[in-house]
Chains A and B, each alone.
Chain A
Amino acid sequence: MNRLRLGLLAVGGAGLAALLVAACLDLPDFGGSRHPYGDRAVRASLARHIANTIASVNFDQRAYDTLGEMSILFAAVLGCVVLLREARDERRARPEPAEVVRPVRRYALLVLPVALLTGLYVIAHGQLSPGGGFQGGVVAATGLHLLYLGADHGALERVRPLGFFETADSLGVCAYLVLGAAGVLAGTAFLANTLLPYGTFDTLSSGGTVPLLNAAVGMEVASAVVVLLAHFLDQAVEIEEEPGR
């Protein structure tokens, strides 16, 4: 029985390998002048007045895939929150406040707003230049943690209402779903980019729903990273195992 299963696996694997090799042989050459996918993607993105073709693929033609990726991040963060919660045999110990030398503290306080602004810039220019919701969200969330690096965990906790970020995380996912469902209600299809005018090429408001979807993803990713790091920091800095167990 076991050998039969292995044999079946071998046959299936060999078939898949043969198909993949055959497909690879037919791919356009590396660095060549024939770009069948690129040509089609660029044509579709220009038709929607989107300057960054990658954003057009991610948030227009393949917006459904992006929804999947977003739910993977959401589920992964949810799993981490469950795993890293304060268990029954653990207790919290306040760490002593940290003394960071002044230049580092000043640098952190100066760069923090720059990082938040850069994150917003990357999210807002998703349909114009490289970047988008994911990249910008990660930058903004990382920037917030300069407070931990420049001061200590207590300072970070004071300006970071965790419940707010948990809500924002879910709201981001909901906003994406609502934008998708709006397409259905308007009579086209789920996540179809037919709702809004395409606007002027190469401006912030171009691309129909793409900037809105980018903003939803940015909100989700930024809040998810903040929530994730909050639980990691809790475990690394505050939570200890109960002695005597």
Chain B
Amino acid sequence: MSDAVTVVALLLVAASATAAVAQRDPARQALVLSFLGMVLAVLFTVLQAPDVGLSQLAVGSALTPLLIMLSVRKVRRRGRTKEERT
């Protein structure tokens, strides 16, 4: 019974990781990835590893989305300027 919270966190991590892989669009992947980051932090807390959870939160909640979305924007902008030229 005391493992229930571990099981819930593990299931959420597995489900969201699968969902992140199943998305086709990078922007949508980034959205699911940020969800995955947060539940991973909960899993680490439940497994009594708050240091790792803190690293995961620091990197996963704002920094990774920012890097991914900036890259997506750059790629899309490049596609647009190419289209205008042709």
Contacts and interface: CB of A to CB of B under 8 A. Distances in A.
B28 interface: no
A233 B81 CA distance: 18
Given A141-B63, A142-B62, 5 more contacts: A31-B3, A135-B58, A225-B63, A232-B66, A233-B70
A131 B74 contact: no
Nearest to B69: A236
B70 to A, nearest CB: 4
Contacts of A240: 77, 81
- Residue among B66, B67, B71, B85 with the most chain A CB within 10 A? B66
Given A229-B66, A229-B67, A240-B81, A138 B73 contact: no
Interface of A: 31, 52, 54, 122, 130-132, 134-135, 138-139, 141-142, 145, 225, 228-229, 232-233, 235-237, 240-241, 243
Interface residues of B, number: 20
Chain A residues touching B, majority SS: helix
A139 B58 contact: yes
Interface stretch (B7-15, B17-25, B29-37, B47-55): B47-55
A243 B50 contact: no
Contacts of A132: 51
